[in-house]
Amino acid sequence: MKKSNTISVEETAIAPIQGETNPPARILLVEDDFAMCEIGAEVLIRQGYHVDTAGDGADAWKSLNDRSYDLLITDNTMPRVTGMELIKKLRSEDMTLLVILASGTVPVEELVKHPWLQLDAMLPKPFTTAQLLDTVKRVLDDANNTRIRVEKDFPVIMQAISEIRPPRLSR
């Protein structure tokens, strides 16, 4: 797999979703199986998401530090840096990114041992494209509904949070 492969909606000439009020979610898909990565990215792009891909956790970590994402979808068993190692790095840097672990190996012991890893969903392999899309939609919708409730119930807090701009870490 290439070191980093970026695919955008513009490259596939797909029209934006009609009536869309929010910009499409930006997703980082991390998968060492090239064919699976390409299929997953294409399916997500066709639904209007912006998708970047990485072939392992090390390349994904670079992408996470170079660009802002709404969602990380990662395999677990990969060369160099595994999905769990990537999630640990992400959380240790206080990145609050939504995370879906899409893997054939579910590290149950590790998740029980480290509840602070805060996975938003698990997607066991093999999965269908419909399961992928349903999981992505559910995770993003849940996060958006939570944000809307917080904005409605705590406008002063939301104003203060919007004024805080933490510095990006450079690696």
2 pLDDT more than 90: no
Break the chain into its structural domains and give their ranges: 4-163
pLDDT in tens, 64-119: 999 999 999 999 888 889 988 999 999 888 888 999 999 887 766 777 777 777 88
Angle at 44 between CA 42 and CA 50, to 5 degrees: 100
- pLDDT tens-digit readout, 107-138: 667 777 777 778 899 899 899 999 999 999 99
> What is the share, in percent, of the chain residues with pLDDT greater than 70?
73
pLDDT for position 12: 34
Beta-strand runs (E) in the chain: 4-7, 26-30, 50-54, 71-74, 98-103, 121-124
DSSP element (H, E) containing 163: helix 155-163
Strands 4-7 and 50-54: antiparallel
8 A C-beta contact, residue 79 and residue 51: no
Alpha-carbon distance of 4 to 23, in angstroms, equals 23
Fold category of 4-163 in CATH: Rossmann fold (3.40.50)
pLDDT, tens digit, 9 for 90 and up, residues 42-64? 999 999 999 999 999 999 999 99
pLDDT for the residue numbered 57? 93
